[in-house]
Amino acid sequence: MSAPLLEFHDVTVAYGRRPVLWNIDLTIDHACLFGIIGPNGAGKSTLLKAALGLVPTTGGTVTFFGRPLADGRRRVGYVPQRETVDWDFPVTVGDVVLMGTYARLGWFRRPGRGERRLARECLARVGLEDVADRQIGRLSGGQQQRVFLARALAQEADVYLLDEPLAGVDARSQETIFEVLAALRDSGRLVVVVHHDLRTAAAWFDRVALIDRRLVATGPTATVLTPENLERTYAGQIELLDELGRAVAARRRTP
54 binds another protein (CB under 8 A): yes
Q: Taking the complex as a whole, how short is the minimal distance between the CB of residue 151 and another protein, in angstroms?
A: 8
76 binds another protein (CB under 8 A): yes
Closer to another protein by Cβ: residue 151 or 207: 151
Phi-psi map region of 10: left, alpha, beta (phi>0 left; psi -120 to 50 alpha): left
Q: Give the separation between CA 191 and CA 186, rounded to whole angstroms.
A: 10
Q: Which of 75, 125, 146, 151 binds another protein (CB under 8 A)?
A: 151
Q: Which of 38, 39, 43, 80 binds another protein (CB under 8 A)?
A: 80
Q: Give the separation between CA 125 and CA 119, rounded to whole angstroms.
A: 10
Q: Give the separation between CA 31 and CA 146, rounded to whole angstroms.
A: 22
Kindly determine how many residues on this chain lie close enough to bind another protein according to the rule CB under 8 A. 29
Contacts 24+ apart (CB under 8 A), 16-23: 19/213, 20/46, 20/213, 21/46, 21/47, 21/50, 21/211, 21/213, 21/214, 22/213, 22/214, 23/59, 23/60, 23/214, 23/215
Q: Which stretch binds another protein (CB under 8 A): 5-13, 19-27, 95-103, 139-147?
A: 95-103
Closer to another protein by Cβ: residue 11 or 224: 11
Q: Give the separation between CA 102 and CA 111, rounded to whole angstroms.
A: 7
Q: Which of 96, 97, 201, 230 binds another protein (CB under 8 A)?
A: 96
158 binds another protein (CB under 8 A): no
Residues that bind another protein (CB under 8 A): 52-54, 70, 73-74, 76, 78, 80, 84-86, 89-92, 95-96, 99, 102-103, 105, 107-108, 110-111, 135, 151, 155
